[in-house]
Structures are given as structure tokens and as C-alpha cells.
Structure 1
Amino acid sequence: MAKEFDVLIIGGGPAGAMTGIELRRKGYSTCIIDKETFPRPKLCAGLLTQKSIDLLAVHCPGLDPSDFVVEQAQTLDFYFQDKKVNSFTIPVKYYLTERTIFDNLLIQYYLKLGGKLLQQVALKTADIDLKKSTVTAGVDKICYKYLVGADGCNGIVCRAAKIRRHDILCLEGNIPRDPLKEKEFRIYFGLAKMGYGWFFPKKEHYCVGMGGEESGKAISNKTARFFQEVQNRQSAQAGDYGLKGAFAPSGRRLNTGKLP
């Protein structure tokens, strides 16, 4: 069965959902395809700046930050390796969220605007025909005028378009947070090449992780040591040693000159 949309969006995370929200507000027909079912777990340190909150207020009026903000902080400590080198307190707040909550709220907002969502649809490169502007999703053939790849660094859209990416591996885990101790919010430098480590407060735990431009094995080993050292300094209970990883954009410009 053939379906047609002005814009087809692959990936229902914040990039895909916000694209869909803005397009629906302007009257375009949209469809988001995601391989998971919402709400779903998602790796992310979960930091939002005041600018992010302000933009959400403009583009998603009525969306209440208290529904997705799990912690706030105004003082940020900077470390070089294991030594604290500076601390800043700013007049605005940093906001921490859990992506499971945040992403689902954005998708629900998108659906209320009349956007179409296809969940649990794992596309393959053969399903995307860039020349004919069609995507085969199960028994459905979807035609589009514009295709948006919002499915992340390992996304199927980049692979179908043969776009070579330059991404970095990030790994993270959780350490239990002692509610009786003062909240801490840290960034670590000098741990990985072209990267950093983080120690972000959440409601009941700290999210601890690292990313950098090194091999997967090197980053995995360094993150495991970093995680253990931080946990020892916190005198915390055993954290989640099942460190999980995902790729994040390096910020380098992508070569899209050969797109059809």
C-alpha cells in the first residue's frame, strides 16, 4: 500500500521529533519512522542548557519542563584528570533529563499535532531508494518529497547515502547518589584524546561517562578505569559496571556532495 508525505523523517529522537513538530505547525504532512517503541531507553548524559529550555518554550508551547527535568544545577566544576582546576557558578541553570522521558514527551507532542508515527520498523539500506524518493516499511511503500535522516551516527540514512562519518565513541554508567551529600556537577579533561569525561547529577544517581577520538578498546578501558576511580572517591555503592556505549558526532563536516 502506497502512502505519500511531504517529509519523511527517519528517527524519532529529539532531532526527528522537533523537525516533525515544526513541520506540522507549518502544515506539512509528516511521518516519523523509528526502530523502537516509545518510551524506550536511550543513552545520553542528558544535559539541557537554558537556551534549550527557551527554544522548547517557543517551539513546543505548553510543554512543561517539570515533566522532563529531573535535576538542576548552577555550579559546574572543571577537572584536569583527577585534580579540580576551577569552578563556575552562573546566573542561569543547567537542566538534567532522562532521555526515556524527554524523547517520549516530544513524540507525544508531535502526535497531538497530527503527525504520523511508525514504530518498531527496522529499515535496511535496500528499503531506501533515494532516486525514486521512496522507502519500503514492511508492506507499505512510502513516497516523500523530502527525506530527513535523524537516526543518529549509525543511522540507516547515512549508510544508504554512502556518507562517510567521523564519529566518536562514548560510554557511560550510573553510580548511586547519596541524597545527604551536596550535589556535584563536573566535567573532566585530559582523560581522552579530543574528548572529555562527565559526572552529571540525576535524581537518584550520577551519570558517569567519557568520550573521545580513540579506538573503541582504548576508550572502553579508559572509561572503565575512570568509572572505578570516581566511584571509589565517592565511596558509593557498586554502580552499573555494564558500561554502555553509543557514537556521537565529532562535529566534522560531512561529505554530502554526491547525494542524488
Structure 2
Amino acid sequence: MDKRHDVIICGCGPAGATAGLALARRGHSVLMLDKARFPRPKLCGGLLTWKSVRLLETVFHESVPGLTEAGVITHVSDRYTIRTPASLLTSGAMPYPFHFIDRSRLDARLLDHAARAGAKVMLGARVTACDPGGGSTPARLTLADGTVLEADHLIGADGANSVVRNSFLGHDRDRFNQFMAPAIEVTLDPAALPEPVECPELYVGFIEAGYGWVFPGQDRVLVGLCGLRRGKVKFSNLFRDFLDFLKIDSRAVPPLRGHPLPYGNALENPVCGHAMLVGDAGGFVEPLFGEGIFYAMCTGLYAGEAVASALEDGQAPGPLYTARLRRDISPELRGSDRLRWLLFRAMKLVGPRSLSLFVNTGSTRLAEMVHGRRSFSWLRRKQWDFLKPGLPASDK
């Protein structure tokens, strides 16, 4: 194996696969690494919004019918409910449906797109150390078997526990961890629930800054809980209380599995030396509902295109990447974070009816905001730059 590469992408999930595809389509050599072997199990609510579907169509040339036929999309619903432990807060229809997916199949399919475009993929390669380099010093990755790889450009797409991020000089680990939310999710047979689940159900009030969910699928139901930890409460006990509330027989529940979710800690500057961060590695998760798939793909696209431009015309990729983030991504995450704390604090002071009033006052506009047709920044119409007409997909 060559030890020196133009570009290395650490992580082959949606963020890494989108970055790899953007680079490979423009003819650049790229090596993609992941400690797992695909398809691999992945804990995730697995919900695609309108903006996610549009990006898949525009960048990956995937369609809803094609993803459904491939078993990636397992359920579609244009309705929702929001509940508290005591009552139904609101329910209704949306102007665009949610598409629920098998996350393992989606990730494998996106990675296959990058590989078929020409990206070299190395699975089962665990990165144990990183040096982002700088100036004339290349970025370096050390693998578990002792192999050292060098790259002129490095994209860290290695998730919430990113080795690449932890190598950044001046990275505030304490602050990042302060806003890292534990999440627990289980997959159940629909018969394990007392009533059929026809549409996505959100539950507020079980945790101060977070929510629970029950998401339907073709032949399964996903039940999960996510939120910021407060005090010394054991999160697994909160989740079991949630399952008890749902009247789910504990004998039907598999062993609990959890994972951390960035929840309001997106980095202002996800660039260090020759490395940049995308997706969960940079904290790019929408902090109200925890949507991560879209922001993983979109930041991966931006990073891949920034590095491609750097290879083609000698520009530094960092400023190109951060400029697009600050224009299109950061306002959404900041607006979502403001809205999150407004709603959670209102519920604490006034009660759950404050959320019901907020949702019912402008349900269509709020649904458009969640789907990305309006911005979290004052509900203005949102124009994503990858949807601009007249440009090839890899340049949008």
C-alpha cells in the first residue's frame, strides 16, 4: 500500500462517502479508511428530510423509488405526533413526508457510489493517532497495525469520538463533551408495542433537554431517547422508564446500545493544519431534533469540493470550506440551538402547553423549517447552494 496520498478521508459514513464522491468525480485520487466493514450496524433514527432527499438526488443521483426498491427506504409518513408523559400535545400532516431508512444499507450504498467513482476504500483500518500537520509537513495517520500514512489533505469524518478532532491544537474537549448527548435506541418487533405505530412519534418531558422517539419501519419499530445529561442520573434508567411508559414488555427489549450525539457543539473553526472535520466529527448535528444525516452529507460535500478546488488551482481548502459553512450551515445550527433552549425553558417554566401553542401557531412553516425549505434563522425561505440550477452535481 502507498504510504503517501493526495487526500485521505478518515471515516466512510455519509460524510466521508459524500466527500470521497465529490473528489473522485473530479478525477482526484483519494483513500478512504474506516475501522468497520460495510455494511455495518449503525444506531440512528434513520429519518430523511426534504433537504436530505434533494441532496441524494442531486449529488448521488439517487431517487426515492430507487432507494425504496433497494430496501434503503422502509417507511414513508406525512404525519406526526408530539406527546408528553401525560397527554397528546399536537398531531398533524406535513407538506412533505419523512422517509425512514435502514441506515446500514444507506451507508453501504453511499460508500459504493464513492468507490465506483474511483475512490480507494480500505475497511477494517482503525486509526489510533493523528497529526494534522501544517505548512510543508503533511498530515499523518497511524493505524492500529503501526502503519503510518501521510496526506497533503485530510478529511476527518470519523464521528463523534473523532481521533482527527482530538488532534487539533487548542481543541476544547471539555466544552465539546459538555454538549455531547447520550443516546440509546433499540429495534423492536411491532408486536412488542401495545398499539400500531403509523407515523413518527416524539415524546418530550422525559428529559430536560432532549426527547424520546418511536419511529415506524417496514417490519420494525425504532424506540430511542437522547438528551443532555444533567446531574448523576443514569441514562439507561431513564430509557427503561421510557420503555415502561410505552408499555413495552422488557422481555422483548434487546440489550441496550448507546452512542454519543453532538448536541449543540458544532466547531466554529473545523480546520487545523491540513485537516478539516465534517459531520459528527465537527459537531455538525442540528441541535433541536438531532438531525445528522443531512449535515453529514452536506459538510462532506463542501469539504470534498474545497479540497478538489485546492488540488486544481492551488488555493488553501480551509477558507473555501469554512466560507460555505458560515453561509449555509452555521446559521441553521445557531438558529436551531436558540429555538431549542427557548422551547425547553418555556416548557420548564410554563409547561408543555407552550410547545403545543408554538407548534400549532404555524405548523406548516415549522414543518418547512424542519425539512429545510425554510431556515431556522427567522423562518426565511432557504436556498441550498447545491440545488442551484445550471451546475453539474459535483459543483453545486
Provide the TM-score with structure 1 as the length reference: 0.88
Which digits, 9 at most, give the CA deviation of each residue in 1:2-52, with x for residues without a partner? 433332111111111111111212222211110011111011111111221
Does residue 12 (structure 1) correspond to residue 12 (structure 2)? The answer is yes
Q: Aligned runs of 1:106-125 on 2, under 5 Å?
A: 106-125=110-129
Alpha carbons 1:2, 1:141 under 8 Å: kept? no
Which digits, 9 at most, give the CA deviation of each residue in 1:232-258, with x for residues without a partner? 4xxx79432412100111122436589
Aligned-pair CA distance for 1:186: 0.3
Q: Structure 2 counterpart of 1:24, which letter? A: A
Structure 1 pair 58–230 and aligned structure 2 pair: CA distance change class (3 A): same
Aligned equivalents of 1:188, 1:246: Cα separation in 2: 19
Does residue 65 (structure 1) correspond to residue 70 (structure 2)? The answer is no
**CA RMSD between the two structures:** 2.4
Aligned-pair CA distance for 1:113: 0.5
State the match for 1:193 in structure 2: 208
Aligned-pair CA distance for 1:99: 1.3
Identity over the aligned pairs, expressed in percent?
Answer: 27
Does residue 224 (structure 1) correspond to residue 226 (structure 2)? The answer is no
Aligned equivalents of 2:75, 2:227: Cα separation in 1: 26
Aligned equivalents of 1:167, 1:156: Cα separation in 2: 16
Does residue 104 (structure 1) correspond to residue 108 (structure 2)? The answer is yes
State the match for 1:77 in structure 2: 81
- With 145-154 and 23-32 compared, the bigger mean Cα shift is at 23-32
Alpha carbons 1:2, 1:143 under 8 Å: kept? no
Aligned equivalents of 2:149, 2:8: Cα separation in 1: 8
Q: Aligned runs of 1:96-245 on 2, under 5 Å?
A: 96-125=100-129, 128-131=130-133, 132-137=138-143, 138=145, 140-161=147-168, 163=171, 164=173, 165=176, 166-178=179-191, 181=196, 183-214=198-229, 217-232=233-248, 238-245=251-258
State the match for 2:264 in structure 1: 251
Structure 1 pair 255–58 and aligned structure 2 pair: CA distance change class (3 A): closer
Which consecutive residues of structure 1, in runs of 5 or more, have no partner in the other structure? none
Aligned-pair CA distance for 1:123: 1.4
Aligned-pair CA distance for 1:141: 3.6
SS at match of 1:148: strand
Structure 1 pair 253–62 and aligned structure 2 pair: CA distance change class (3 A): closer
Q: Structure 2 counterpart of 1:225, which letter? A: D
Aligned equivalents of 1:59, 1:224: Cα separation in 2: 40
Alpha carbons 2:25, 2:118 under 8 Å: kept? no
Aligned-pair CA distance for 1:217: 4.7
SS at match of 2:166: helix
More strand by share: 1
Which digits, 9 at most, give the CA deviation of each residue in 1:192-247, with x for residues without a partner? 12111110001112100111111585322111110222144xxx794324121001
Aligned equivalents of 2:206, 2:196: Cα separation in 1: 26
Query: Aligned residue pairs: how many?
Result: 255
Q: Structure 2 counterpart of 1:212, which letter? A: G
Q: Structure 1 counterpart of 2:140, which letter? A: T
State the match for 1:92 in structure 2: 96
SS at match of 1:124: strand
Structure 1 pair 123–2 and aligned structure 2 pair: CA distance change class (3 A): same
More helix by share: 2
State the match for 2:42 in structure 1: 42
